[in-house]
Amino acid sequence: MSLRDVLTREISLKRGPKPQRPPQDEPRPAARTRRMPSLSLPKPAWRRGSLASAPGRHKQVVGLKVGASQLAAAVVVNNGRPKLVKAARHTLPSGLVAGGEVRDPEALAREIADFFRTADLPRRNVRLGIGSSRTGVRVFERPDVDDPRQLANAIRYRAHETLPIPIEEAMLDYHVVEEPNGPDRVLLAVAYRDLVDRFAATCAAAKIELLGIDMEAFALLRAIGGEPLAAGEREEAARVAVAIGHDRTTVAVSDGRVCEFTRVLDWGGAKVTAALERALEVDADEAEQLKRTLDISSGAPQELADGTHARAVEAVRREVHGLARDLASSLHFYQDQPGSLGFAEITLTGGGAHLLGLASQLEELIGITVRVADPFARVGSGHGISSGGQDGSLAVAIGLGIED
């Protein structure tokens, strides 16, 4: 039995209608996902222990994504349709950030300060993204209370029941999603307090004025999604957005209004590089160069008669099987929830999505249509933006800059 058979049997996927493909000369309509609330800074001016962002809509926002291998920033002007006016990336030394968390605050602050200075980026109205195994999202029916304070207490109690984070160690925010044709829902976002505090303190040391701290999953959906649906509307099929970074992969599932599920997987492009190092006995730099040219799709031509190419492809495919298993398990978990939708497709982005043949391999293994997203879908064509051929690495930063 093939891995695809195993994965498909494990998931027992509910299939949604396949997306209609527009003619080639027309722009592709993006999946529509509602703007999610930003998480907050632990500033005294805002509610301590809350994750509410600074109120109001901001015309220009700088989205900042802090990854394990690089920083990415996007300056977005939100005047009507959001427009990307500037983007930049900056390579980070290893060890400063791992698993979506700050490991060396002082060194990271210096890198961020240098990045903003050399790239000439605005230091105000910066929205930072976070995403790690110590963050979480839940959607549940709104408690039947009207008093705002009682509602907040009821939601915190529900968070204590449903989230694996001790409530005294958590920072949380919630957003009530109004449903004209049924009970209102609550979108709850939560993160460990020390995770948020370390990021906030690091940015403060870099002289960066944060507008808010947002879930990377929400930003991901904003970047490759479309305009928000009206109240009471819901997509016929869930959209799955996947951002593959250096050492982690963010999965977000939306019904068109709400991010109903998110998970951070311990898988990234570094695993592919390490697999090539082991299989070919080369150093990391050589493995990284090979990774950028290797095509792992089933129909790719085979090269190098000495078998080096075949060993490289096989090593990478084994690692991709691990991603497929983790992704399948996550989708299975989502579809075990009441009211879950079928899947139309999986949309890939992030720097790791540039691995040639990755989308087709995942499609073969999981049995769902997989395509690579255009990170500039909502903010213009991206002409004039230098990304070094790594457009996907800007997706989350762009989403952080979008105000819906």
Residue with tokens 């930063």: 397
Q: What's the Cα-to-Cα distance from 50 to each of 157, 164, 189, 300, rounded to whole Å?
A: 14, 17, 10, 51
pLDDT for position 8: 43
| Cα–Cα dist 189/135, whole Å | 8
| Cα–Cα dist 187/398, whole Å | 22
| Kind plus residue range of the DSSP H or E element containing 225 | strand 225-226
Beta bridge partners of 231: none
User: CA 241, 224, 313: angle at the middle one, nearest 5?
Assistant: 55
Q: Which of 327, 194, 173 is nearest to 261 (CA)?
A: 327
Q: Kindly indicate the confidence band of residue 25, based on its pLDDT and cuts at 50, 70 and 90.
A: very low
Q: 95-125, pLDDT tens digit by residue?
A: 999 999 999 999 999 999 999 999 999 999 9
Average pLDDT on 272-290 reads 95
| Half-sphere CA count of 86, side-chain side, radius 13 A | 12
> Which pairing describes strands 343-349 and 370-372: parallel, antiparallel, or unpaired?
parallel
Residue 39 pLDDT exceeds 70: no
pLDDT for position 26: 42
Q: Kindly indicate the confidence band of residue 56, based on its pLDDT and cuts at 50, 70 and 90.
A: low
pTM above 0.85, yes or no: yes
| Kind plus residue range of the DSSP H or E element containing 162 | helix 148-162
pLDDT for position 24: 44
> Which pairing describes strands 31-32 and 60-66: parallel, antiparallel, or unpaired?
unpaired
Q: Which residues contact 119 (CB under 8 A, 6 or more apart)?
A: 73, 88, 90
Q: Kindly indicate the confidence band of residue 53, based on its pLDDT and cuts at 50, 70 and 90.
A: low
pLDDT for position 22: 46
Give the chain's radius of gyration (CA, Å). Answer: 21
pLDDT for position 32: 33
What's domain 3-401's superfamily in CATH? ATPase, nucleotide binding domain (3.30.420.40)
- The residue extents of the domains of the chain are 3-401
Reduced to 3 states (helix: H, G, I; strand: E, B; else coil), residue 215 is strand
Q: Decide which of 249 and 156 is more confident.
A: 249
Q: Decide which of 10 and 181 is more confident.
A: 181
Residue 70 pLDDT exceeds 80: yes
| Cα–Cα dist 39/172, whole Å | 8
| Cα–Cα dist 11/355, whole Å | 25
